[in-house]
Amino acid sequence: MNDIKNYDTIVFDLDGTLIDTLEDLKDSVNYAMNVYGFPERSLEEIRTFVGNGVGKLIERAIPDGIENPLYKECLKVFQDHYSKNMQNKTAPYNGIKELLAELKDRGFKMAVVSNKFDSAVKELVKEFFGDYIKVAIGESENVSRKPAPDTVIKALAELGSAPDKAVYVGDSEVDVMTAKNSKLTCIGVTWGFRTREVLEKEGAQYIIDEPHQLLSILD
């Protein structure tokens, strides 16, 4: 492992790492479920469904998944509803804005990569973190979603950074795999959508329980 003190770039996951989006995701999933008469999903079910993009989220939420003949229609209803309602209950986790402000003051370059659809990622990052993070990349037809390294590679290119100067911060097994595939040191966070045990099992090099602990690792 490279010396953590030599790093100057941080790539963050979004949902479950910087912002808590579960309530708004649940509301939009259940709006789509109600439109088609499917059973509603609980918050804990949504927690286990997220991480691989909205297509997978709806696939996991509806009966018979992608084999359901209404899958594509249901996905579109979800996306349309979520696009208009994704800031109703979503907010940064406690301590995140203070962390980003400190990282900016220390001269770190920062980006967000997410499996949420690209327009939503850009809107949410601009709304909550526009003073700190200028590079935000989500799922689109032009780039493979995580755990493929494509979004990370694109973010590093836009920042003018190199993989050996960057760390990756995320909350899920998808994030640990993304970091591995991108050849970045992974810092897992336990306040998001997965447990410490999941992060340890997948092989995150560092695990933190509070945002400010990231500074201790970098010091």
CB within 8 Å of 65: residues ≥ 6 apart: 59, 71
Closest by CA position to 78, among listed 125, 134, 116, 122: 116
Closest by CA position to 167, among listed 183, 191, 144: 183
Q: Which of 13, 15, 20, 175 is catalytic?
A: 13
Q: Is 13 noted as a catalytic residue in this protein?
A: yes
Contact 164, 184 (CB under 8 A): no
- Our CA angle for 32, 147, 162, nearest 5°, is 130
Measured on CA atoms in the order 113, 114, 118, 124, is the torsion positive or negative? negative
- By the 10 Å C-beta count (0-12 exposed, 13-18 middle, 19+ buried), 145 is classed as buried
Catalytic residue annotation: 13
